[in-house]
Structure 1
Protein backbone atom coordinates (compact mmCIF):
# COMPACT_ATOMS: atom_id res chain seq x y z
CA UNK A 1 0.00 0.00 0.00
CA UNK A 2 1.27 3.50 -0.82
CA UNK A 3 0.64 5.65 2.28
CA UNK A 4 2.02 8.98 1.06
CA UNK A 5 4.08 10.56 -1.68
CA UNK A 6 6.62 13.35 -1.35
CA UNK A 7 7.79 14.93 -4.55
CA UNK A 8 7.44 17.64 -7.15
CA UNK A 9 4.24 18.42 -9.01
CA UNK A 10 4.87 18.06 -12.74
CA UNK A 11 1.37 18.90 -13.99
CA UNK A 12 -2.16 19.55 -12.79
CA UNK A 13 -5.29 18.69 -14.73
CA UNK A 14 -8.33 18.66 -12.41
CA UNK A 15 -8.86 16.36 -10.60
CA UNK A 16 -5.54 14.71 -11.53
CA UNK A 17 -2.08 15.73 -10.33
CA UNK A 18 1.14 14.22 -11.67
CA UNK A 19 3.76 13.97 -8.90
CA UNK A 20 7.36 12.99 -9.61
CA UNK A 21 9.02 11.03 -6.81
CA UNK A 22 12.63 9.90 -7.39
CA UNK A 23 12.15 9.94 -11.17
CA UNK A 24 8.78 8.11 -11.17
CA UNK A 25 5.60 10.00 -12.07
CA UNK A 26 2.48 9.12 -10.08
CA UNK A 27 -0.96 10.10 -11.36
CA UNK A 28 -3.03 11.03 -8.30
CA UNK A 29 -6.72 11.95 -8.21
CA UNK A 30 -7.47 14.66 -5.62
CA UNK A 31 -10.54 16.42 -4.28
CA UNK A 32 -10.71 20.07 -5.34
CA UNK A 33 -9.89 21.20 -1.78
CA UNK A 34 -6.47 19.49 -2.08
CA UNK A 35 -6.08 20.58 -5.70
CA UNK A 36 -6.35 24.28 -4.76
CA UNK A 37 -3.84 23.85 -1.92
CA UNK A 38 -1.23 22.59 -4.40
CA UNK A 39 -0.74 25.93 -6.16
CA UNK A 40 3.03 26.13 -5.83
CA UNK A 41 4.39 23.90 -8.59
CA UNK A 42 8.10 24.21 -7.79
CA UNK A 43 8.62 22.95 -4.24
CA UNK A 44 8.15 19.40 -2.93
CA UNK A 45 4.72 18.49 -1.61
CA UNK A 46 3.59 15.72 0.74
CA UNK A 47 0.34 14.03 -0.22
CA UNK A 48 -1.39 11.33 1.85
CA UNK A 49 -2.62 8.61 -0.49
CA UNK A 50 -5.15 5.84 -0.72
CA UNK A 51 -4.61 3.11 -3.32
CA UNK A 52 -7.76 1.65 -4.85
CA UNK A 53 -7.27 -1.67 -6.64
CA UNK A 54 -9.85 -2.99 -9.07
CA UNK A 55 -9.47 -5.69 -11.69
CA UNK A 56 -9.09 -3.11 -14.48
CA UNK A 57 -7.21 -0.31 -12.68
CA UNK A 58 -4.95 0.72 -9.81
CA UNK A 59 -5.90 4.27 -8.84
CA UNK A 60 -4.15 6.56 -6.37
CA UNK A 61 -6.20 9.15 -4.51
CA UNK A 62 -4.34 11.97 -2.79
CA UNK A 63 -5.12 14.32 0.10
CA UNK A 64 -3.35 17.32 1.59
CA UNK A 65 -4.31 16.32 5.18
CA UNK A 66 -4.65 13.05 7.08
CA UNK A 67 -8.18 14.13 8.06
CA UNK A 68 -9.25 14.23 4.41
CA UNK A 69 -7.79 10.77 3.85
CA UNK A 70 -9.52 9.35 6.95
CA UNK A 71 -12.90 10.80 6.00
CA UNK A 72 -12.47 9.58 2.39
CA UNK A 73 -11.88 6.04 3.69
CA UNK A 74 -15.03 6.24 5.82
CA UNK A 75 -17.05 7.50 2.85
CA UNK A 76 -16.02 4.64 0.55
CA UNK A 77 -17.02 2.10 3.22
CA UNK A 78 -20.64 3.20 2.74
CA UNK A 79 -22.45 0.85 0.37
CA UNK A 80 -23.08 2.58 -2.96
CA UNK A 81 -20.43 5.27 -2.46
CA UNK A 82 -17.37 4.68 -4.60
CA UNK A 83 -14.10 6.62 -4.68
CA UNK A 84 -15.33 9.04 -7.39
CA UNK A 85 -18.45 9.96 -5.38
CA UNK A 86 -16.35 10.31 -2.21
CA UNK A 87 -14.02 12.69 -4.12
CA UNK A 88 -17.04 14.70 -5.26
CA UNK A 89 -18.28 14.99 -1.66
CA UNK A 90 -14.86 16.17 -0.41
CA UNK A 91 -14.63 18.59 -3.35
CA UNK A 92 -18.02 20.05 -2.43
CA UNK A 93 -17.63 20.11 1.37
CA UNK A 94 -14.58 20.59 3.59
CA UNK A 95 -13.92 17.92 6.23
CA UNK A 96 -15.26 20.24 8.92
CA UNK A 97 -18.42 21.06 6.90
CA UNK A 98 -19.02 17.38 6.18
CA UNK A 99 -18.68 16.39 9.85
CA UNK A 100 -21.07 19.23 10.81
CA UNK A 101 -23.47 18.20 8.04
CA UNK A 102 -23.52 14.56 9.22
CA UNK A 103 -23.88 15.41 12.93
CA UNK A 104 -26.69 17.92 12.30
CA UNK A 105 -28.36 15.49 9.83
CA UNK A 106 -28.45 18.07 7.02
CA UNK A 107 -29.39 15.78 4.11
CA UNK A 108 -30.28 18.75 1.87
CA UNK A 109 -26.74 20.14 1.97
CA UNK A 110 -25.25 16.71 1.26
CA UNK A 111 -27.67 16.18 -1.64
CA UNK A 112 -26.28 19.31 -3.35
CA UNK A 113 -23.16 17.29 -4.20
CA UNK A 114 -23.24 16.09 -7.83
CA UNK A 115 -24.04 12.36 -7.91
CA UNK A 116 -25.66 12.36 -4.46
CA UNK A 117 -29.43 12.15 -4.24
CA UNK A 118 -31.55 12.62 -1.15
CA UNK A 119 -31.71 8.84 -0.58
CA UNK A 120 -27.90 8.46 -0.65
CA UNK A 121 -27.51 11.54 1.55
CA UNK A 122 -29.78 9.99 4.20
CA UNK A 123 -27.89 6.69 3.97
CA UNK A 124 -24.57 8.55 4.45
CA UNK A 125 -25.93 10.30 7.54
CA UNK A 126 -27.21 7.07 9.10
CA UNK A 127 -24.03 5.10 8.42
CA UNK A 128 -21.48 7.82 9.17
CA UNK A 129 -22.88 9.44 12.32
CA UNK A 130 -21.29 6.98 14.74
CA UNK A 131 -18.17 6.35 12.66
CA UNK A 132 -17.24 10.02 12.18
CA UNK A 133 -17.76 10.77 15.87
CA UNK A 134 -15.21 8.03 16.71
CA UNK A 135 -12.64 9.27 14.17
CA UNK A 136 -9.59 10.99 15.65
CA UNK A 137 -9.49 14.14 13.51
CA UNK A 138 -6.62 16.58 13.99
CA UNK A 139 -8.93 19.54 14.57
CA UNK A 140 -11.12 17.66 17.10
CA UNK A 141 -13.99 19.10 15.08
CA UNK A 142 -16.01 15.94 15.51
CA UNK A 143 -16.79 16.59 19.15
CA UNK A 144 -20.22 18.09 19.59
CA UNK A 145 -20.15 21.22 21.70
CA UNK A 146 -21.44 20.41 25.15
CA UNK A 147 -23.30 22.92 27.23
CA UNK A 148 -21.11 25.65 28.64
CA UNK A 149 -20.15 25.26 32.27
CA UNK A 150 -22.24 27.46 34.53
CA UNK A 151 -25.22 27.31 32.19
CA UNK A 152 -28.79 27.01 33.37
CA UNK A 153 -29.20 23.82 35.46
CA UNK A 154 -32.62 23.33 33.80
CA UNK A 155 -30.91 22.90 30.42
CA UNK A 156 -30.09 19.24 31.11
CA UNK A 157 -33.75 18.45 31.85
CA UNK A 158 -34.80 20.36 28.73
CA UNK A 159 -32.41 18.30 26.59
CA UNK A 160 -33.78 15.06 28.06
CA UNK A 161 -37.35 16.26 27.38
CA UNK A 162 -36.48 17.11 23.76
CA UNK A 163 -34.94 13.65 23.33
CA UNK A 164 -38.15 12.07 24.63
CA UNK A 165 -39.98 14.10 21.95
CA UNK A 166 -37.88 12.31 19.33
CA UNK A 167 -34.90 14.66 18.81
CA UNK A 168 -31.42 13.13 18.66
CA UNK A 169 -29.05 14.00 21.54
CA UNK A 170 -26.79 16.20 19.39
CA UNK A 171 -29.72 18.07 17.90
CA UNK A 172 -31.36 18.64 21.30
CA UNK A 173 -28.01 19.81 22.71
CA UNK A 174 -27.55 22.23 19.78
CA UNK A 175 -31.08 23.63 20.14
CA UNK A 176 -30.68 24.27 23.88
CA UNK A 177 -27.12 25.65 23.64
CA UNK A 178 -28.42 28.50 21.42
CA UNK A 179 -30.47 29.89 24.33
CA UNK A 180 -28.55 32.65 26.12
CA UNK A 181 -30.88 33.42 29.06
CA UNK A 182 -29.66 31.52 32.14
CA UNK A 183 -32.74 32.16 34.31
CA UNK A 184 -35.40 30.25 32.37
CA UNK A 185 -37.45 27.32 33.65
CA UNK A 186 -37.20 23.94 31.94
CA UNK A 187 -40.56 24.55 30.23
CA UNK A 188 -39.44 27.97 28.91
CA UNK A 189 -36.19 26.48 27.57
CA UNK A 190 -38.10 23.73 25.73
CA UNK A 191 -40.56 26.24 24.24
CA UNK A 192 -37.74 28.51 23.05
CA UNK A 193 -35.72 25.60 21.68
CA UNK A 194 -38.71 24.42 19.62
CA UNK A 195 -39.35 27.93 18.31
CA UNK A 196 -35.70 28.39 17.26
CA UNK A 197 -35.40 24.94 15.67
Structure 2
Protein backbone atom coordinates (compact mmCIF):
# COMPACT_ATOMS: atom_id res chain seq x y z
CA UNK A 1 0.00 0.00 0.00
CA UNK A 2 2.73 2.50 0.95
CA UNK A 3 5.90 1.55 -0.94
CA UNK A 4 8.08 4.65 -0.62
CA UNK A 5 8.09 7.93 1.26
CA UNK A 6 10.11 11.07 0.57
CA UNK A 7 10.12 13.91 3.04
CA UNK A 8 11.92 15.80 5.79
CA UNK A 9 13.36 13.80 8.67
CA UNK A 10 11.58 15.39 11.64
CA UNK A 11 12.67 13.16 14.55
CA UNK A 12 15.17 10.39 15.23
CA UNK A 13 14.48 8.24 18.30
CA UNK A 14 15.98 4.79 17.70
CA UNK A 15 14.57 2.56 16.37
CA UNK A 16 11.80 4.92 15.30
CA UNK A 17 11.86 8.03 13.15
CA UNK A 18 9.24 10.56 12.09
CA UNK A 19 9.25 11.52 8.42
CA UNK A 20 7.31 14.69 7.54
CA UNK A 21 5.75 14.24 4.10
CA UNK A 22 3.94 17.44 3.10
CA UNK A 23 2.80 18.15 6.65
CA UNK A 24 1.92 14.55 7.58
CA UNK A 25 4.30 12.92 10.07
CA UNK A 26 4.78 9.20 9.47
CA UNK A 27 6.14 7.17 12.40
CA UNK A 28 8.45 4.59 10.86
CA UNK A 29 10.40 1.80 12.56
CA UNK A 30 13.80 1.24 10.98
CA UNK A 31 16.64 -1.25 11.57
CA UNK A 32 19.77 0.25 13.10
CA UNK A 33 21.63 -0.29 9.81
CA UNK A 34 19.25 2.22 8.21
CA UNK A 35 19.14 4.49 11.27
CA UNK A 36 22.93 5.04 11.32
CA UNK A 37 22.92 6.00 7.62
CA UNK A 38 20.10 8.55 7.83
CA UNK A 39 20.90 12.24 7.38
CA UNK A 40 20.55 14.72 10.24
CA UNK A 41 17.10 15.78 11.45
CA UNK A 42 15.65 18.51 9.21
CA UNK A 43 17.13 17.07 6.02
CA UNK A 44 15.28 15.47 3.12
CA UNK A 45 15.36 11.70 2.82
CA UNK A 46 13.71 8.88 0.90
CA UNK A 47 12.79 5.52 2.43
CA UNK A 48 11.44 2.32 0.92
CA UNK A 49 8.68 1.07 3.18
CA UNK A 50 6.82 -2.03 4.25
CA UNK A 51 3.28 -1.41 5.52
CA UNK A 52 1.80 -3.96 7.93
CA UNK A 53 -1.76 -4.10 9.21
CA UNK A 54 -2.31 -6.15 12.35
CA UNK A 55 -5.12 -6.47 14.87
CA UNK A 56 -3.47 -4.03 17.24
CA UNK A 57 -2.59 -1.35 14.68
CA UNK A 58 -1.00 -0.25 11.43
CA UNK A 59 2.80 -0.26 11.28
CA UNK A 60 5.26 1.24 8.83
CA UNK A 61 8.84 -0.02 8.47
CA UNK A 62 11.48 1.88 6.52
CA UNK A 63 14.68 0.95 4.71
CA UNK A 64 17.32 2.84 2.75
CA UNK A 65 17.96 -0.02 0.29
CA UNK A 66 15.89 -2.51 -1.63
CA UNK A 67 18.13 -5.28 -0.28
CA UNK A 68 17.20 -4.44 3.31
CA UNK A 69 13.50 -4.36 2.52
CA UNK A 70 13.70 -7.65 0.62
CA UNK A 71 15.60 -9.32 3.49
CA UNK A 72 13.02 -7.96 5.98
CA UNK A 73 10.18 -9.44 3.94
CA UNK A 74 11.97 -12.79 3.65
CA UNK A 75 12.51 -12.81 7.43
CA UNK A 76 8.79 -12.18 8.00
CA UNK A 77 7.99 -15.32 5.98
CA UNK A 78 9.94 -17.47 8.45
CA UNK A 79 7.55 -19.10 10.93
CA UNK A 80 7.77 -17.52 14.36
CA UNK A 81 9.56 -14.38 13.15
CA UNK A 82 7.71 -11.11 13.61
CA UNK A 83 8.60 -7.58 12.59
CA UNK A 84 10.50 -6.79 15.83
CA UNK A 85 12.69 -9.86 15.46
CA UNK A 86 13.26 -9.15 11.76
CA UNK A 87 14.37 -5.60 12.63
CA UNK A 88 16.65 -7.02 15.32
CA UNK A 89 18.28 -9.37 12.81
CA UNK A 90 18.85 -6.53 10.33
CA UNK A 91 20.19 -4.35 13.14
CA UNK A 92 22.65 -7.07 14.18
CA UNK A 93 23.85 -8.09 10.70
CA UNK A 94 24.10 -6.34 7.37
CA UNK A 95 22.12 -7.93 4.54
CA UNK A 96 25.35 -9.24 3.01
CA UNK A 97 26.47 -10.73 6.34
CA UNK A 98 23.05 -12.34 6.82
CA UNK A 99 23.16 -13.83 3.31
CA UNK A 100 26.69 -15.14 3.94
CA UNK A 101 25.69 -16.62 7.32
CA UNK A 102 22.74 -18.40 5.70
CA UNK A 103 24.81 -19.61 2.73
CA UNK A 104 27.51 -20.98 5.04
CA UNK A 105 24.95 -22.22 7.59
CA UNK A 106 26.76 -20.37 10.40
CA UNK A 107 24.54 -20.77 13.44
CA UNK A 108 26.97 -18.88 15.70
CA UNK A 109 26.61 -15.58 13.82
CA UNK A 110 22.83 -15.61 14.24
CA UNK A 111 22.85 -16.63 17.90
CA UNK A 112 24.91 -13.50 18.71
CA UNK A 113 21.94 -11.31 17.72
CA UNK A 114 19.87 -10.26 20.76
CA UNK A 115 16.58 -12.15 20.87
CA UNK A 116 17.73 -14.99 18.61
CA UNK A 117 18.14 -18.35 20.32
CA UNK A 118 19.48 -21.59 18.93
CA UNK A 119 16.12 -22.93 17.70
CA UNK A 120 15.17 -19.64 16.02
CA UNK A 121 18.60 -19.43 14.39
CA UNK A 122 18.28 -23.00 13.09
CA UNK A 123 14.84 -22.18 11.66
CA UNK A 124 16.24 -19.03 9.98
CA UNK A 125 19.09 -20.99 8.39
CA UNK A 126 16.71 -23.66 7.13
CA UNK A 127 13.96 -21.41 5.78
CA UNK A 128 16.19 -18.69 4.28
CA UNK A 129 18.58 -21.06 2.51
CA UNK A 130 18.88 -20.00 -1.13
CA UNK A 131 16.53 -17.02 -0.78
CA UNK A 132 18.94 -14.16 -0.02
CA UNK A 133 22.10 -14.76 -2.03
CA UNK A 134 20.90 -13.86 -5.52
CA UNK A 135 19.18 -10.61 -4.56
CA UNK A 136 21.84 -9.35 -2.16
CA UNK A 137 24.72 -9.79 -4.56
CA UNK A 138 26.44 -12.40 -2.38
CA UNK A 139 27.67 -15.12 -4.68
CA UNK A 140 27.45 -18.64 -3.31
CA UNK A 141 30.68 -19.45 -5.13
CA UNK A 142 32.42 -16.48 -3.48
CA UNK A 143 31.12 -17.59 -0.09
CA UNK A 144 32.31 -21.16 -0.73
CA UNK A 145 35.72 -19.88 -1.88
CA UNK A 146 36.01 -17.75 1.28
CA UNK A 147 35.08 -20.76 3.42
CA UNK A 148 37.68 -22.96 1.72
CA UNK A 149 40.31 -20.27 2.18
CA UNK A 150 39.42 -19.93 5.88
CA UNK A 151 39.49 -23.72 6.38
CA UNK A 152 42.92 -24.01 4.77
CA UNK A 153 44.27 -21.12 6.88
CA UNK A 154 42.89 -22.71 10.05
CA UNK A 155 44.58 -26.01 9.28
CA UNK A 156 47.90 -24.28 8.59
CA UNK A 157 47.57 -22.30 11.83
CA UNK A 158 47.00 -25.56 13.72
CA UNK A 159 50.36 -26.85 12.51
CA UNK A 160 49.44 -28.96 9.50
CA UNK A 161 51.60 -28.50 6.40
CA UNK A 162 50.26 -27.36 3.03
CA UNK A 163 50.24 -30.89 1.58
CA UNK A 164 48.14 -32.24 4.47
CA UNK A 165 45.76 -29.27 4.31
CA UNK A 166 45.34 -29.63 0.52
CA UNK A 167 44.64 -33.37 0.83
CA UNK A 168 41.94 -32.73 3.45
CA UNK A 169 40.43 -29.89 1.40
CA UNK A 170 39.97 -32.16 -1.64
CA UNK A 171 37.77 -34.50 0.40
CA UNK A 172 35.39 -31.77 1.63
CA UNK A 173 32.04 -31.04 -0.08
CA UNK A 174 32.21 -27.94 -2.31
CA UNK A 175 29.56 -25.94 -0.44
CA UNK A 176 30.62 -26.63 3.15
CA UNK A 177 30.69 -23.84 5.72
CA UNK A 178 33.82 -22.76 7.54
CA UNK A 179 33.16 -24.28 10.97
CA UNK A 180 31.83 -27.60 9.58
CA UNK A 181 34.73 -27.75 7.12
CA UNK A 182 37.35 -27.29 9.83
CA UNK A 183 35.68 -29.94 11.99
CA UNK A 184 35.51 -32.47 9.13
CA UNK A 185 39.06 -31.73 7.95
CA UNK A 186 40.39 -32.25 11.48
CA UNK A 187 38.58 -35.60 11.71
CA UNK A 188 40.12 -36.70 8.40
CA UNK A 189 43.60 -35.55 9.40
CA UNK A 190 43.40 -37.25 12.81
CA UNK A 191 42.63 -40.61 11.14
CA UNK A 192 45.60 -40.30 8.77
State TM-score, norm by structure 1.
0.74
Q: Partner of 2:164 in structure 1? A: none
User: 1:52 & 1:21 partners in 2: Cα distance?
Assistant: 19
Distance (Å, rounded) in 2 between the aligned partners of 1:144 and 1:193: 25
Q: Within 5 Å, which residues of 2 pair with 1:11-30?
A: 11-30=11-30
> Aligned-pair RMSD on alpha carbons?
3.0
Is 1:144 matched up with 2:149? no
Equivalent residue, structure 1, for 2:115: 115
Structure 2 residue runs of 5 or longer lacking an equivalent are 146-166
Q: Which runs of 5+ in 1 are unaligned?
A: 148-156, 164-168, 176-189
Tell me the residue number matched to 1:171: 176
Counterpart Cα distance in 2 of 1:19 and 1:128 = 31
Aligned to 1:101, what secondary structure does the other structure show? helix
- Label 1:39 to 1:112 Cα distance change in 2 as closer, same or farther (>3 A): same
Residue 163 of structure 2 aligns with which residue? none
- Structure having the higher helix fraction is 2
SS for the counterpart of 1:78 is coil
Deviation at 1:9, TM superposition (A): 0.6
Q: TM-score, normalised by structure 2?
A: 0.76
Whether 1:55 and 2:55 are equivalent positions in the alignment is yes
